[in-house]
Amino acid sequence: MTEIVNNGSLSPEQSSYREFFLNVAFIAKTFDISQVRVRALMTRKLFRSVVEKGVGDDDGLWRLTLRSGNRAWQGIVTSGGDVERQTVVMFRHPRFEERAIADLRAVPEMF
**Full domain range(s) for residue 91:** 5-106
pLDDT band at 11 (very low <50, low <70, confident <90, very high): very low
Whether 33 is covered by a domain: the verdict is yes
91 belongs to a structural domain? yes
User: How many percent of the chain have pLDDT more than 90?
Assistant: 41
Residues in CB range of 106: below 8 A, 6 or more apart: none
Q: Is residue 73 part of a domain?
A: yes
| 36 within domain boundaries | yes
- Structural domain contains residue 10: yes
Q: What pLDDT was estimated at residue 12?
A: 43
Query: Looking at the 3D structure of the chain, how many domains does it have?
Result: 1
Residue 12 lies in a domain: yes
Confidence of residue 56 (pLDDT cuts 50, 70, 90): confident
For the residues of 17-38, what is the DSSP string, one character each?
Answer: ---EE--HHHHHHHHTS-HHHH
Residue 78 reports pLDDT greater than 80: yes
Q: How does residue 8 score in pLDDT terms, banded at 50, 70 and 90? A: low
Structural domain includes residue 72: yes
Averaged over 3-32, what is the pLDDT?
Answer: 71
* Residue range 81-102, pLDDT digits in tens: 888 999 998 877 655 556 655 6
In a domain, 111, yes or no: no
- Give Rg (Cα) of the chain: 14
